[in-house]
């Protein structure tokens, strides 16, 4: 009986250890934000004068002088991971008091950040992503960079500080250093083989050339057009939706002048896309294609044209899926009949946000400044072909990769590219709940021939406007109306 009691007690203890061991915070084991490991104590950074009392209090005191402060950085970017990791390694070797841990999350970046925010385990520094930034902005999750920046730094980045984009209510939350714009990428060799002399300027020409290539070279497994259509939103946000910004002056179907959604301008493009994705034009299997498998096929010379971002492709074809640079080029996204009444949005990229709740905020800023804003880093980034610099000093000084020098449309062109305001459903993503399928899924149902275009667009108009008005009524969203909005000179609001 006694042995039974002992056994029971042991079993109980084991159960408790097992349970609580599993539920315990990993913090002490994995050394997350704020923990330290052997090395030297924190150095006095050049921003010491900018140190606020608040951050002084928050900064954990190293237990002894042999400890290094761990600064965690999360990224979602695969294309520049190699370059950044090399810079991080270099930094770690030089740094006496800080160790940077650089972690790459790709498709699950947003989910990882959401979960970490919920558990209070966000890293010190994160690569900027719209979703992550917008979602946690309201909780005061992101640090105002102005509190640490000296006058020189403010002056250096003055051209990329854009009120309404990264400067909100007098606070600066991130500094984009490169830009990305959506373009049509084409294989010059394939074009030459079928006798196409110039890249397409209209969407009708895209269709014509695609059919020509597919008809003539299908036997060799070469097709005119491909899209990463597995995810309609991913595919259309780098192609049709961007083209429509220039063609209709609206942003994701939203008319800023009238303050309402109007998807009727989508009709012509959708009908052309339906033909573009048909059997006689597109590569078979586009429906289940992701962007990376698509790029492998483009690099293998099997695809004539596709849409993507200007910042990523040079790096991809230089490192990830090697392709002779002379074989490809990029041009602006063609519109229906070449109609252009507005500018298209360009993404301000290579920006980092700092976790305001990090106990090592000041050290995190120092790492950010030394690592990601140094001229050496920014020049190397541009020259390495990882992104198109938008910092005037870098553009002037750098000797960019041949791709950026020779391929005009990989660069940002102010006459065509601009930062556009967000449509209400994106600006108040949590507050505007559109019932039913979103605009991308509806577009998908049209270009796969499952829905009538007029009925589908009328349904989109009704549902998006209804959700928008409902949000205004419930105060979960606000009216965005810019009566003097000029799509050629867009203003942010």
Nearest distance from residue 11's CB to other proteins, in Å?
6
Which residue in 27, 60, 259, 293 binds other proteins (CB under 8 A)? Answer: 293
Q: Which residue has the tokens 């991971």?
A: 81
Which residue in 41, 43, 202, 231 binds other proteins (CB under 8 A)? Answer: 231
Q: Is 448 an interacting residue with respect to other proteins (CB under 8 A)? A: yes
Nearest distance from residue 152's CB to other proteins, in Å?
34
Q: Which residue has the tokens 């052309």?
A: 272
DSSP symbols for 270-329: HHHHHHHTSTTTBPTTGGG--HHHHHHHHHTT-EEEEEEETTTHHHIIIIIS---GGGEE
Closest CB to other proteins among residues 221, 322? 221
Q: Looking only at Cα atoms, what is the longest distance across the chain?
A: 94
Q: Is 445 an interacting residue with respect to other proteins (CB under 8 A)? A: yes
Kindly write out the interface string for residues 370-399 of this chain, putting x where it contacts other proteins by CB under 8 A and - elsewhere. Answer: ------------------------------
**C-alpha to C-alpha distance for 276 and 278, rounded to whole angstroms:** 6
Closest CB to other proteins among residues 98, 460? 460
Closest CA to 406 of 423, 427, 376, 385: 385
Q: Is 120 an interacting residue with respect to other proteins (CB under 8 A)? A: no
Q: Is 360 an interacting residue with respect to other proteins (CB under 8 A)? A: no
Pairing between strand 67-75 and 36-38?
antiparallel
Q: Is 275 an interacting residue with respect to other proteins (CB under 8 A)? A: no
Which residue in 44, 56, 138, 170 binds other proteins (CB under 8 A)? Answer: 138
Closest CB to other proteins among residues 138, 483? 138
**C-alpha to C-alpha distance for 112 and 124, rounded to whole angstroms:** 14
Q: Is 168 an interacting residue with respect to other proteins (CB under 8 A)? A: no
Nearest distance from residue 135's CB to other proteins, in Å?
4
**C-alpha to C-alpha distance for 21 and 15, rounded to whole angstroms:** 10
Q: Is 134 an interacting residue with respect to other proteins (CB under 8 A)? A: yes
Q: Is 96 an interacting residue with respect to other proteins (CB under 8 A)? A: no
Residue 142: other Cβ atoms inside 10 A: 22
**C-alpha to C-alpha distance for 208 and 206, rounded to whole angstroms:** 6
Nearest distance from residue 100's CB to other proteins, in Å?
24
Nearest distance from residue 354's CB to other proteins, in Å?
17
Closest CA to 327 of 216, 407, 214, 405: 407
**C-alpha to C-alpha distance for 351 and 130, rounded to whole angstroms:** 11
Nearest distance from residue 436's CB to other proteins, in Å?
7
Give the pair of three-digit tokens for residue 122.
Answer: 């966000």
Q: Total residues at the site for other proteins (CB under 8 A)? A: 63
User: Do 187 and 317 form a contact (C-beta atoms < 8 A)?
Assistant: no
**C-alpha to C-alpha distance for 322 and 256, rounded to whole angstroms:** 42
164: left (phi over 0), alpha (psi -120 to 50) or beta: left
Q: Is 436 an interacting residue with respect to other proteins (CB under 8 A)? A: yes
Q: Is 295 an interacting residue with respect to other proteins (CB under 8 A)? A: no
Closest CB to other proteins among residues 224, 431? 431
Q: Is 478 an interacting residue with respect to other proteins (CB under 8 A)? A: no
Which residue in 88, 98, 117, 270 binds other proteins (CB under 8 A)? Answer: 117
Which residue in 36, 187, 228, 297 binds other proteins (CB under 8 A)? Answer: 297
Which residue in 193, 426, 481, 486 binds other proteins (CB under 8 A)? Answer: 426
Closest CA to 403 of 305, 339, 482, 310: 310
Closest CA to 126 of 174, 54, 90: 174
Q: Is 107 an interacting residue with respect to other proteins (CB under 8 A)? A: yes
**C-alpha to C-alpha distance for 343 and 431, rounded to whole angstroms:** 27
Helices 267-276 and 439-447 cross at an angle (nearest 10°) of: 50
**C-alpha to C-alpha distance for 373 and 149, rounded to whole angstroms:** 12
Per CB under 8 A, the segment of 25-33, 131-139, 142-150, 393-401 that binds other proteins is: 131-139
**C-alpha to C-alpha distance for 433 and 476, rounded to whole angstroms:** 10
Residue 93: other Cβ atoms inside 10 A: 7
Nearest distance from residue 199's CB to other proteins, in Å?
23
Kindly write out the interface string for residues 56-95 of this chain, putting x where it contacts other proteins by CB under 8 A and - elsewhere. Answer: --------------------x-------------------
Using CB under 8 A as the binding rule, the residues of this chain from 5 to 24 that contact other proteins are 7-8, 11-12, 15, 18-19
Closest CB to other proteins among residues 386, 447? 447
Nearest distance from residue 444's CB to other proteins, in Å?
5
| Residue numbers at the binding site for other proteins (CB under 8 A) | 4, 7-8, 11-12, 15, 18-19, 76, 107, 109-111, 114, 117-118, 129-131, 134-136, 138-139, 141, 221, 229-234, 237-238, 252, 283-285, 287-289, 293, 297, 302, 422, 425-431, 433, 435-437, 441, 444-445, 448, 450, 474, 476
């Amino acid at each position: 009986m006694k042995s039974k009691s002992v056994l029971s007690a042991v079993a109980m203890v084991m159960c408790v250890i097992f349970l609580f061991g599993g539920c315990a915070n990993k913090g002490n084991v994995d050394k997350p934000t704020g923990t330290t490991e052997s090395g030297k104590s924190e150095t006095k950074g050049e921003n010491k004068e900018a140190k606020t009392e608040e951050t002084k209090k928050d900064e954990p005191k190293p237990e002894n002088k042999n400890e290094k402060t761990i600064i965690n950085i999360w990224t979602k970017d695969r294309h520049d991971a190699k370059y950044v990791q090399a810079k991080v390694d270099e930094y770690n070797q030089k740094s006496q008091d800080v160790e940077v841990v650089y972690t790459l999350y790709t498709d699950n970046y947003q989910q990882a950040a959401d979960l970490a925010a919920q558990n209070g385990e966000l890293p010190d520094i994160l690569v900027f992503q719209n979703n992550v930034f917008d979602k946690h902005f309201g909780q005061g999750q992101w640090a105002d960079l102005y509190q640490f920046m000296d006058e020189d730094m403010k002056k250096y980045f003055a051209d990329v500080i854009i009120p309404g984009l990264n400067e909100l209510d007098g606070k600066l939350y991130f500094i984009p250093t490169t830009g990305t714009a959506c373009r049509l990428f084409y294989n010059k060799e394939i074009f030459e083989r079928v006798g196409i002399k110039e890249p397409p300027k209209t969407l009708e020409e895209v269709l014509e050339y695609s059919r020509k290539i597919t008809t003539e070279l299908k036997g060799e497994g070469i097709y005119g057009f491909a899209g990463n259509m597995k995810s309609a939103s991913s595919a259309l946000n780098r192609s049709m939706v961007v083209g429509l910004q220039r063609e209709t002056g609206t942003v994701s179907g939203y008319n800023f002048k009238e303050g309402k959604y109007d998807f009727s301008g989508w009709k012509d493009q959708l009908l052309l896309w339906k033909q573009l994705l048909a059997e006689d034009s597109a590569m078979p299997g586009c429906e289940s294609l992701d962007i990376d498998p698509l790029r492998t096929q483009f690099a293998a010379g099997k695809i004539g044209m596709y849409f993507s971002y200007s910042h990523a492709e040079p790096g991809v074809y230089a490192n990830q899926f090697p392709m002779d640079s002379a074989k490809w080029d990029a041009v602006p996204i063609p519109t229906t009949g070449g109609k252009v009444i507005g500018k298209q949005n360009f993404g301000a990229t290579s920006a980092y946000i700092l976790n305001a709740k990090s106990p090592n905020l000041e050290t995190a800023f120092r790492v950010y400044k030394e690592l990601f804003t140094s001229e050496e880093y920014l020049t190397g980034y541009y020259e390495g072909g990882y992104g198109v610099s938008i910092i005037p000093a870098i553009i002037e000084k750098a000797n960019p990769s041949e791709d950026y020098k020779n391929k005009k449309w990989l660069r940002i062109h102010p006459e065509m590219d601009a930062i556009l305001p967000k449509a209400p459903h994106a600006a108040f993503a949590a507050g505007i709940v559109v019932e039913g399928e979103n605009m991308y899924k509806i577009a998908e149902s049209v270009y796969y021939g499952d829905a009538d275009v007029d009925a589908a667009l009328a349904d989109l108009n009704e549902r998006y406007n209804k959700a928008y008005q409902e949000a205004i009524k419930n105060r979960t969203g606000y009216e965005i109306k810019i009566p003097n909005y000029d799509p050629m000179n867009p203003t942010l609001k």
